Structure 1
Amino acid sequence: MESATKTQTQNKYQVSIDLLNDAVGKEIATSLQYMYFHTHFEDDRYQYLSKIMREISIAEMRHIEEFSDRILFLQGDVDMNASFRTKQVTEAKEMLRMAMQLEQSTIDSYNEASRMAAEHKDAVTHKMFQDIIAEEEQHLDTFRTELQNLLDYGEEYLALQSAAGSKHTSKSFGHPGGGE
């Protein structure tokens, strides 16, 4: 009887499981992409952009965990494979543009997934997608703002971040003005 119940549950929620696994793949790929951007921003000493990319990458990892937990609750299995390979983009404006495209694509995809989960009478998965859409919209807004700052202030915006990084580096090495 237990295996029959499990089979019925899997069949009943298979659409949600598939939607959630698709989301896991997107989140893994996006998290890796943002971590790639983080390392390049950090290497260029753009501390603020580096921090943003790192924090949002970690937020995407939390989404992977939430989606995975839901899949397991629905008695499915998690497919932990990135939906795309990390792209080697290293120019600041292009990184922010790509991040905006990733967020917008995710928002569009999750709106559709939310609708489909609701159609299949899975209110929890429907709400989960809605809640995560709100977070993705905040990420999109952050990337829009940073790109606009870069467009408005140009290289000066990046130079200020680099100078802030140099100040931080000199403090950590105990150079004059470093407080140690």
Structure 2
Amino acid sequence: MKAKPGIVDALNRILTIEVTAVNQYFLQSEIVRNWGYDHLADRLRAISMGEMRDIEELVKHILYLEGLPNLQRIDVVKVGETVLENLELDLESEQAAIEALTEGVNLCVEVDDYGTRSRLEEMIRDEETHIDWLETQIEAIGQLGTEQYLAQQLGTGE
């Protein structure tokens, strides 16, 4: 099926965001695991793997639309010096992802591409769950204090 105008470009932009997210969450997972926060590391790794499934679906859909997936582009992978900074950077990245996905949905509406629209709306819901989790973690740090929050993240993971 041939893609409607602009759709493959929009999907490739989202693909770039997802590739970046996989790398960012994976790297942060390994960093916090190295610090001993295995519970947090497991959650970040799970998010990274979820983003990888999004990449797989995007690649399949771009190919279905007779486009060429661009896996060579990557945005800046953001890594902070503290757990809180990493969570805040992830929140910013998720918000940017939702913005790009929303732009993609709007384009789909303009060009009457309901199949792609449905996929992107599903991805928005997934990203919103990540935002909810990140906001909860940031709020927990604010309420409990960093030391108490991090004490809860200690332990044997995987």
- TM-score in terms of structure 2 length: 0.92
Deviations 1:74-112 (A, max 9, x none): 101110024313233231110000111111111111111
Q: Which runs of 5+ in 2 are unaligned?
A: none
Q: For the pair shown, which has the larger CA radius of gyration, 1 or 2?
A: 1
Residue number among 95, 104, 108 corresponding to 1:117 in the alignment: 108
Does residue 76 of the first structure (1) align with residue 67 of the second (2)? yes
Residue number in structure 1 paired with 2:133: 142
Superposition deviation, residue 44 in structure 1: 1.1
Aligned to 2:85: 94
Superposed, which structure 2 residues align to 1:158-173 within 5 Å?
A: 158-162=150-154, 165=155, 168=156
- SS at structure 2 position matched to 1:42: helix
Tell me, yes or no, if the aligned pair for 1:63 and 1:132 is still in contact at 8 Å: yes
Deviation at 1:52, TM superposition (A): 1.3
Which one of 52, 67, 70 corresponds to residue 58 of structure 2?
A: 67
Q: 1:176 maps to what in 2?
A: none
How far 1:71 sits from its partner (Å)?
0.4
Provide the identity percentage: 28
Q: Distance in 2 between matches of 1:112 and 1:21?
A: 13
Stretches of 4+ aligned residues off by more than 3 angstroms:
none
- Work out which of the residue numbers 6, 11, 23 in structure 2 matches 1:15: 6
Q: Structure 2: how far apart are the matches of 1:140 and 1:82?
A: 24
The root-mean-square deviation of aligned C-alpha atoms, in Å, is: 1.6
For CA contacts below 8 A with separation 6 or more, give which structure has more relative contact order: 2
In the alignment, which of 148, 153, 157 is matched to residue 149 of structure 2? 157
Q: Which moved more, 1:78-87 or 1:68-77?
A: 78-87
Which is worse superposed, 100-109 or 12-21?
12-21
Contact 1:24 1:79 in 2 (8 A): yes
Normalising to structure 1: TM-score of the pair?
0.82
Contact 1:27 1:82 in 2 (8 A): no
Distance 1:87 1:26, change over 3 A: same
How far off its partner does 1:116 sit? 0.4
